[in-house]
Structure 1
């Protein structure tokens, strides 16, 4: 009986604090996406027309986000019943958006206006004897383009 009570308490705590943390993180992501919306990202390999004379720099962003207890339980139940595992989908969405934001923040240092050839790498970090997913890592990288300012010609 005590085991069930402890399980329910942990589940409630995990659900409550997990939701609060996730909501705060999404709000932070939305605010930073608004600040960095002027830096355009493309998966295209080549730069857009007009960037023949631009300074290039490799930029990247990396994030590791842990899976909370509630998400792990919800994913386990969904694994039994089948269907979409929305608990993990939101985790991956947060990680992907955060990694892209960190890449854009690095590009901002170089005064870049565009990032081309953007790639995303995803990995799960396992733990425990049953290789349960403990964290998810997303790595975003691309080529930042900074237009070269041309001096006006003197006559």
Structure 2
């Protein structure tokens, strides 16, 4: 009986604190997306012809976001029945958007207003002997087109 109570308390705490942290992170992402709206990111391999003679630099942004206890339990239950694992969808969305923001930050620090050939790499970091997902890593990278100073 005590094990069940501990499980339910951990489940409730995981839900409450995980939801709070996720909500706070999404608000931060939305604010920074507005801040970096001037740095454009495209998946096109080559820059537009008008910007072909710019200085270039490889820029990237990396993030690792861990899975909270509630998401692990919800995903475990979903695996019994199949279907979409919405708990992990929000996790990967946060990681993707955060990685892109970090890439844009690096590009802006270099004086770029555009990043082309943007790619995303993802990986899950397992924990435990059962290969449970412990965290998600996303790396965003691309080629920043930097304004050249006129001399």
What TM-score do the two structures reach when normalised by structure 2? 0.98
CA shift, 1:81, in A, is: 1.2
- Matched with 2:113 is 113
Residues 11-47 of structure 1 deviation map (CA, whole Å, 9 limit, x = unaligned)? 0000000000000000000000000000000000000
Partners of 1:131 and 1:78 in 2: CA distance: 16
Give SS of 2:62's match.
strand
Partner of 1:81 in structure 2? 81
Determine the structure 1 residue equivalent to 2:71: 71
| Superposed counterparts of 1:1-155, under 5 Å | 1-150=1-150
Does the CA contact (< 8 Å) of 1:51 and 1:147 recur in 2?
no
Could you tell me how far apart the structure 2 residues matched to 1:127 and 1:77 are? Answer: 18
Provide the secondary structure at the position in 1 that maps to 2:50: coil
Give the deviation of 1:147 after TM superposition.
2.3
Tell me the matched-pair count.
151
Q: State whether residues 43 and 116 of structure 1, in contact with CA within 8 Å, keep that contact through their aligned partners in structure 2.
A: yes
TM-score by structure 1 length?
Answer: 0.95
1:149 deviation in Å?
3.8
Q: Which runs of 5+ in 1 are unaligned?
A: none
Q: Is the 8 A contact 1:53 1:147 kept in 2?
A: no
Shift of 1:49: 2.5
Where does the alignment leave 5 or more consecutive residues of structure 2 unmatched? Answer: none
Q: List structure 1 segments (4+ residues) > 4 angstroms apart after TM superposition.
A: none
Measured in 1, the distance between the counterparts of 2:131 and 2:149 equals 52
**Structure of higher CA gyration radius:** 1
